[in-house]
Structure 1
């Protein structure tokens, strides 16, 4: 839960520090501008709030790793994916997006800090403990932090400890470690298809290379 707070706080801070002109730059999510990604984070924060107040009585069906499904790469045809850019544009000025993310995002952060990690909650037709749910989101926040700064070299990077935790989670999902020669950031970018590996990196990846990218849903 501490890693959840660190990763989320770092991401909220990075967004808050962005100058307005950066909202029109591309993000690391293909087809999305930075403003679109920030709008997606608002929805993610709402999902966290909803899940934390949706208790479940049955046994957990997934944990922090099996919460994630491997899916086909997005085609842009998903209705929600198509909605995000229109919704982001409707905010007009970046300050309103910043305000909404800070408002909802801060509430999600406080709710996470107050939640009992042993309590079971329901989301996406699955049941898991709060602790596992928040642990799963360390990967989500870290990947989206990398998406945010993909074309913004001056923006703040994710904390080293959350990069390491996100890498460890992705390795569990992959069922295999990434080569030690890859930094945590490179392992995450290459592993999820956000960056194409070089020939040398592909060779180093060995049997893992043909199984990449791991697209999470």
Structure 2
């Protein structure tokens, strides 16, 4: 829960500090500008709110790692939901409206997470998870998108060290192996999810593990 709140607050704060012109810059998500990423985070916050009030009366079918499914190919930005996000983001026109909506819905999602029972089960995407595992999965989501936010905006604050470490640990669980300690947490996340191509030296350090990368999470 601490990692969830920390990663989500840091990401929302970073977006709240953006200049208007920053929203027109590319993000680390293929095909998305920063304004599109911000709009996606509003949808994410809505999903958190919906899931936390969708209780399940069965045992969990997934945990924080198995919550994530792996795609065979990298995202292109042309998926129907991706293109819808772009159209929604453009409709805001003024970046201040994006900031306001994200702060409004995002704050509510954060409060809802703090108030919920971590041991109870909820239903989402046709699966059942404990609230604790569901929120843990979102630490990876928030942290990756924080890195996406900073991809072309070097002046923006990077994710907190604890968030990076927690996200790396979960990604290693998904991968089924640990990344070399020589890779920083941010580097492991970027290389592991295909957001950056590994250098020759990094590929050498990864060894046989490199053939299993990248992991395209969805």
TM norm structure 1: 0.99
Q: Point out where structure 2 has 5 or more consecutive residues left out of the alignment.
A: none
Could you say what secondary structure the match of 1:178 adopts? coil
Aligned to 2:122: 121
Distance 2:133 2:194 in 1: 25
Q: Displacement, 1:75?
A: 3.4
User: What is the CA-CA distance between 1:30 and the residue it aligns to?
Assistant: 1.1
* 1:138-217 pair list within 5 angstroms: 138-217=139-218
* Cα drift, residue 76 of structure 1: 3.3
**CA distance in 2: counterparts of 1:167 and 1:7, whole angstroms:** 13
Q: Secondary structure at the match of 1:121?
A: strand
Who is 1:49 aligned against?
49
Query: Runs of 5+ in structure 1 lacking a partner?
Result: none
Aligned residues: 217
Deviation at 1:10, TM superposition (A): 0.2
| Structure 1 stretches of 4+ moved >4 Å | none
CA distance in 2, matches of 1:7, 1:74: 24
Map Cα deviations across residues 59-88 of structure 1 (whole Å, 9 max, x no partner): 100011111111132233321111111110
Find the aligned partners of 2:104 and 2:57 in 1 and give their Cα distance.
Answer: 30
1:26 to 2:26 alignment: yes
Cα RMSD for the two superposed structures:
0.7
SS where residue 86 of structure 2 aligns?
Answer: helix
Q: Does 1:82 align with 2:83?
A: yes
Equivalence for 1:15: 15
Matching residue of 1:93: 94
Q: Which residue of 2 aligns with 1:37?
A: 37
